[in-house]
Structure 1
Amino acid sequence: MSYVLGEDLMERPLISIIVPVYKVEKYINKCVASLLVQTYENCEIVLVDDGSPDQCPLICDQFSRDFDNITALHKPNGGLGDARNYGVRYSKGDWIVFVDSDDYVEPTYIEDLWNLLLKHDADMAMASSIQADEDGNVMGKKLHFESICVSGADAIFEVYAGDHVGWSAYNNIYPKSVLLQYPFPAGYYEDMACMYLIVDAVDKVAIGDYNQNYKYVQHTSGSILNSALSEKHMHAFEICEEFATFIDEKYPELEILKPLIYIQSVVQMLHRQHMGYKDYSKVFLMYRIMFRKALSAILKNAKIKKKTKMFAFLLSTEPWIYKVCHVMAKGKKKVTEIKRG
């Protein structure tokens, strides 16, 4: 697959910024304000009201009336993935960027992604994000690495096991045609479910170190990670099975990725705020045998990041050991934040 990017920077293509909106009336103004000051001027902002029951529909309509480059769309509630798909279908640009409506970005967010794409003559560009709290305090460090361009197995590995990016849909720029071909599925963990298909559908993926550009806001309530464990959350393991089948059929040389995606899913489950120890132990023990079998290969693989190796080791032990380590790590993080304040 190949895309003509064009050499004349004065004729920059229209880039559509898709913003799904649901129950974010406290945050959406900050998000949209950060998009309105982008240094890349030829972009449209598509606000997709996903049947939000608060004031968000009215806020979206007001933005649409006030700014010519903002479009407000309204649809029945269908979830984050469905809202993204809806925005893609009705967008006007050939290039798509996603921003979650409770996050915010720096003025060069679009510009840097586009320049990264041009630099490597790539079909898609990706960068990581940096975490911020609800008060706007940035937590984390800026990444410093030389941008790279990867494809095929290398691209899949970078997304699911590398140090630089992850499977989140935001802070990437995509060709619209690929997103139409591989829409986000309904339900939770929609990013994890289709990012490998999207990355595999293009020839070249550029990866850059612009994590400071996208501020991912971790909320103290209301997020998936703060909800109690349910069957909806267990859907993550069905996605893991689909990913494992994909690896077996197309990239058997990446077999090491199969336990890694289960590790990341289990870690997300275990870090829930409202999960009792019975459920905690159940999730922990589900794939421990798999992790123990893969542990040696994971620890010996120099390309796998240290944090993932640490999780692999801890998930091969006992539930209470992981629980204690997690509580201690959270306590250390809080102490560090207090000292910074």
Structure 2
Amino acid sequence: MLKNNSLISVIVPVYNTKAYFGKCIKTIIDQSYKNLEIILIDDGSTDGTSAKCDEWSQKDARIKVFHLQNGGVSKARNFALEQCHGEWVSFVDSDDWLALDMYEILLALADKFEADTACCGAWQGNEENYTVRNIWRRFKEDEVCYNNGSALGNVIEQSGTLWNKLLKRELIGCIRFDEKIRYAEDTLFLSEYLLKANCVAVTKKPLYYYRINRLGNVVSGGLNSRHLDYLYATALIFDILRENGSVDVGVERVVDVGIRVAALMNKTNKQKCYMDAIRQLAKKAMPYRTELIKNNRSAKQYFKKFILTQMYYGNFLFVCCSKIVNRIK
């Protein structure tokens, strides 16, 4: 039984997801927990999604719709944060969908641990075929609570996304998304938020359905300018982690991001700007490379230490290793 009936502000940026948006919003309005404020931010959609937002607002009084000129997901979320009134805030991607008891379970979890943040597990795939997304892999229990300064490193290491979390609006305060960054802006926002969190409660139960390989999704596309944003955001996240006692997590993130971006590269001269950005990122992490094996001396961590060195020099071996590692994954 929940201790309170707190209002949850559910923020959904929407851009050209007409084919998926109906399922997303239906699973929000049909939640077993009813005290919701649903904020739809139409970011200048051109595929008919805008009209769908207005249609849904006529069906449910809890839905508020705002139409903006296209400015990106960060601008849309920042605008929504100025409009919301809930004690809790949830960010949902408009092509995903939720288990119908997600908010009820997350609020009960927050009550149980007296937490200011609640997180859940997730599925990934599509309507016909989905599997559990292996995110909360660092603990064996079904539930855990990170506190006393342990939240930042533990949460970012395992789940740097926003969509599977309930955040306290009071803690968000003046934190806003960097509107210049179009990739990993959510992890940067979350990193800044977690610096203020006292207790983060986590359940492994998968309650969020994350759609993968959607046509038009930046994450599933090839190398593009947004990956420069990805590298830049990772540098900022690394600084936050290093300055707040989680440099080991930061170094590993640098290596993992470098591998993901390098795996998309080819031999053309157009890739030089990406390699330069990768080398700058590696330069930040190199003085702390021994942190990769400080607490875990497995072959995998030694290999990551080797990869970081190759990443620093930006040689062809690094690109080859990245392509191999990415293919194995």
Counterparts of 1:87-236 in structure 2 under 5 Å?
87-133=80-126, 135-140=127-132, 145-151=141-147, 153-161=149-157, 165-186=158-179, 187-188=181-182, 189-210=184-205, 212-236=206-230
Query: What is the CA RMSD across the aligned residues, in angstroms?
Result: 3.0
Map of 2:320 onto structure 1? 320
Instruction: Check 1:305–1:88 CA distance in 2 against 1; reply closer, same or farther (3 A cut).
Output: farther
Contact 2:259/2:326, CA 8 A, preserved across alignment: no
> Tell me, what secondary structure is at the counterpart of 1:213?
strand
- Structure 2, unmatched stretches of 5+, are 311-316
Shift of 1:132: 1.2
- 1:149 aligned partner, one-letter code: C
Structure with greater strand percent: 2
Distance 1:141 1:257, change over 3 A: closer
Is this contact kept in 1: 2:259–2:322, CA < 8 A?
Answer: no
Q: In the alignment, which of 247, 255, 259 is matched to residue 255 of structure 1?
A: 247
Partner of 1:266: 258
CA shift for structure 1 position 44? 2.3
Q: Is the 8 A contact 1:315 1:322 kept in 2?
A: no
Amino acid aligned to 1:61? D
- Shift in Å at residue 295 of structure 1? 5.3
State whether residues 291 and 312 of structure 1, in contact with CA within 8 Å, keep that contact through their aligned partners in structure 2: no
- Structure 1 residues 261, 152: closer, same or farther in 2, change over 3 A? farther
- 4+ residue runs of structure 1 moved beyond 4 angstroms? 141-144, 287-296, 304-317
How many matched pairs? 312
User: What is the correspondence of 1:24-39 to structure 2 with a 5 Å cutoff?
Assistant: 24-39=17-32
Q: Is the 8 A contact 1:85 1:184 kept in 2?
A: yes
Q: Does 1:301 align with 2:295?
A: yes
8 Å contact kept, 2:143–2:204 = yes
Give the superposition deviation at 1:43: 1.3
Q: Report SS of the residue matched to 2:195.
A: helix
Q: Distance in 2 between matches of 1:104 and 1:306?
A: 38
Q: TM-score, normalised by structure 1?
A: 0.80
Q: 1:22 touches 1:56 (CA, 8 Å); kept in 2?
A: yes
In the superposition, relative to structure 1, how do residues 328 and 244 fare at CA in structure 2: closer, same or farther (>3 Å)? closer
User: Greater shift after overlay, 86-95 or 320-329?
Assistant: 320-329
1:65-84 equivalence runs, <5 A = 65-84=58-77
Q: Separation in 2 of the partners of 1:268 and 1:259?
A: 15
